[in-house]
Structure 1
Amino acid sequence: MAVTAALAGVLALTVLALPDDANRAPDTVLVATESAKGLDIGRDVVWVLAVGSDARPGEDMTRSRGDAIQMVGINTRTGAAAILGVPRDSWVNIPGHGTSKINAALYFGGPKLFGQVVGNLVGVQPDYVFITRFEKFQNLVNGIGGIDIVNPFFFADDPIKPKGFKAGHLHLTGYEAMAYSRIRHALLRGDFDRSAHQQMVVKAIQRKVRKDRDKPGFIARGVMSAMTNLHTDLSPVELFKLGHVLADIDPAKVTNCVVQGGIGNIAGQSVVLPHVQAAHQMGEDARKDAVISRCVA
């Protein structure tokens, strides 16, 4: 999926939020992993795995396939952030389920197993896993008035965006941001370019939140949109702290890379064969300060 719908939602967290109607299927899920135990939000580097679920209406998005996959590290002392994009077709080991595309880990074992598998690939385990849907992501982007990006080249996709995206400065609505993040087949490098586009959208969301956060009512509207129908196992205090950490990211201190790999065919499926050592190197690089000094292929 493209952005990361997930990440967009996480970046919009800024104040205390309470779960919505328990009888409704949640639009967003935020869970703590084993790595979060003993974590001091506000003093440590915090890692959030943001996931866009491809679940259809009525389906359990915590047992669907992850579409957009971005691991985000935030340095709570400096405001720096590192974003590691993971192609959804990466062929990896899923404990207890053999080898498969990495996005199947969410289907097999839910958010915590998915977090473990992505963490195994990049060498850093997430403290939190955040999941949301296409529709929720669009609402989040519309709720902040859209976003601005600089698109490096024209591309189009008949089913999603037949007129395409021109090169140059673009203002994207929620639907357009979703389409920009989701299109793959029209891109020269497929899954790798799509993950990079997701990161562009994520960074644009953060820039907008940072720029407009002091406008009257801006944060309140964003929070209400992000937190409507949330399911979480975090306490209100944890939510409050995590929200402020995410909102305080300095856009000038965001570094990002996409895990690279080869293209293969396994059992009739086109897959990405990730360069695990390079992925680990980037994760290790960002582990302590949430800064990626260079992308490694």
Structure 2
Amino acid sequence: MNGRRRLWLAAGLAVLLALMVVLAAVIAGSNKTPSSAPSSPSPTATPTPSATQTRKPTAAAPAPAPAPPTIPELPAAPMNILVIGSDSRENAKEENNQTITTGQASDQRSDCLMLIHVPADRHKVYGISIMRDNWVDIPGYGASKVNSALGLGGTPLVVRTVESLLGAHVDHTVMLDFHGFKLLTDALGGIDVNVTLPFTSTIETQHQFVAGINHLDGQAALEFVRERHAFVDGDYQRVRDQQTFLRALLVKLSGGVQNPAGVLGLVQFAANDLTVDDGFDPMSVAILAYGLRTVDPTASVFFTLPTAGTGTSPDGQSIVLPDYAGIGEVAAALRDDTLPQYVAAHGY
């Protein structure tokens, strides 16, 4: 797969859409103004029946309205969700299912990998970006770029690779593509992003991103999170921009009306653009979304798994070298439930 094809989906795509589905549900009802209750009709005088009058039968009371849908509370336990962005220009879900079913490799890569850690108290979330060119061990295949696991063995192999790298159990997986990302960004009315490093996109419309607040529709947002060629440090700045977009998204999604019916409706709306594990059905997604209504977006933290610079693989590929000592610190923080202390010590 050539570099031009890779441009169709950059590393942060899946994270952004997944968090829309998981967190946007908390504002699903915020853009809906409840209809006013109908005013009661003015009472009219009822004549006293005479000896020749008979009362008409009283109309039957209307049937009670159906009870509004309810969503169970999310259990008070930490959760790790692996968000995967495929670079497939076809159908990521179908390619993944074929790989899992037949064992035949597919021509797609996970150009986004982010582990979303949801603490038990659900006051904030932690997003750990894994750069796509990290040269790691793919279980059963040996050393390769981490993004190759998806094509080799589908989402199960991606999970095994990340679990091996971080020593953390992955509870659920979500995989998405760029079509749903644009669709949901536009459905939300666009996102306001604070651009700290202005640039002109090298992708599709060559959108110009100026310094300061930019209101991005779906297409512009996609170019913002995909761009890497416009930057001296390439993927490193792209990951930072993805995290900037995600923070802006969380701010937009905060403070809305907590509406179980809206949560379920939004999850169903996004279902066609999601590939999830067998245990993560729409109701499970809705439970998570509703449970995260207490998250403070300004307190949530996103950082990149430590790396040791760049290099060249034995077969000549440009790669990112993992910082295994730094990764060990992150793994220990996940294992010991000390991510707050870790991010404080590292200034995130």
Instruction: Give the TM-score band, short-chain normalised.
Output: 0.7 to 0.9
Matched ranges for 1:14-33 at <5 A: 14=25
Unpaired runs of at least 5, structure 2 = 1-9, 27-72, 97-105
**RMSD, aligned α-carbons:** 2.8
Identity score, percent? 28
Aligned equivalents of 1:217, 1:144: Cα separation in 2: 17
SS of 1:171's equivalent? strand
Is 2:179 the counterpart of 1:144? no
Q: Does 1:53 align with 2:78?
A: no
1:90 to 2:90 alignment? no
Counterpart Cα distance in 1 of 2:79 and 2:329: 18
Deviates more, 1:68-77 or 1:118-127: 118-127
Query: Whose strand proportion is higher, 1 or 2?
Result: 1
* 1:293 counterpart letter in structure 2: A
What is the aligned counterpart of 1:272 among 297, 320, 324? 320
The 5 Å alignment of 1:1-297 reads 1-13=10-22, 14=25, 41-58=74-91, 60-62=94-96, 63=106, 64-213=108-257, 219=263, 222-228=266-272, 230-232=274-276, 233-234=278-279, 235=281, 237-259=283-305, 260-266=307-313, 267-287=315-335, 288=337, 291=340, 292-295=343-346
Q: Pick 1 or 2: higher relative contact order, CA cutoff 8 A, min separation 6.
A: 1
- Rg larger for: 2
- Distance change in 2, residues 1:166/1:269 (3 Å): same
1:156-183, Cα deviation, whole Å (9 max, x unpaired): 2323452431111111111122111111
1:159 partner SS: coil
| TM-score (norm. length: structure 2) | 0.70
Aligned length: 273
Q: Is the 1:184–1:191 Cα contact (8 Å) retained in structure 2?
A: yes
Change (3 A) 1:44 1:256: same
Offset from partner CA, 1:238-269 (integer Å, 9 cap, x none): 33322223454221221121123311112221
Unaligned runs of 5+ in 1: 16-39
TM-score (norm 1): 0.81
**Structure 2 residue aligned with 1:33:** none
Equivalent residue for 1:24? none
Tell me if structure 2 keeps the 8 A contact 1:67–1:88. Answer: yes
Call closer, same or farther: CA 1:251–1:127 in 2, change over 3 Å: same
Query: 1:130 is aligned with what amino acid?
Result: V
Distance, in Å, in 1 between the alignment partners of 2:216 and 2:188 is 11
Sort the Cα spacing of 1:190 and 1:246 in 2 relative to 1 into closer, same or farther, 3 A. farther
Q: Distance in 2 between matches of 1:258 and 1:278?
A: 11
Secondary structure at 2:288's aligned position in 1?
Answer: helix
Query: Which deviates the most, 90-99 or 122-131?
Result: 122-131
In 2, distance between residues paired with 1:242 and 1:215? 13
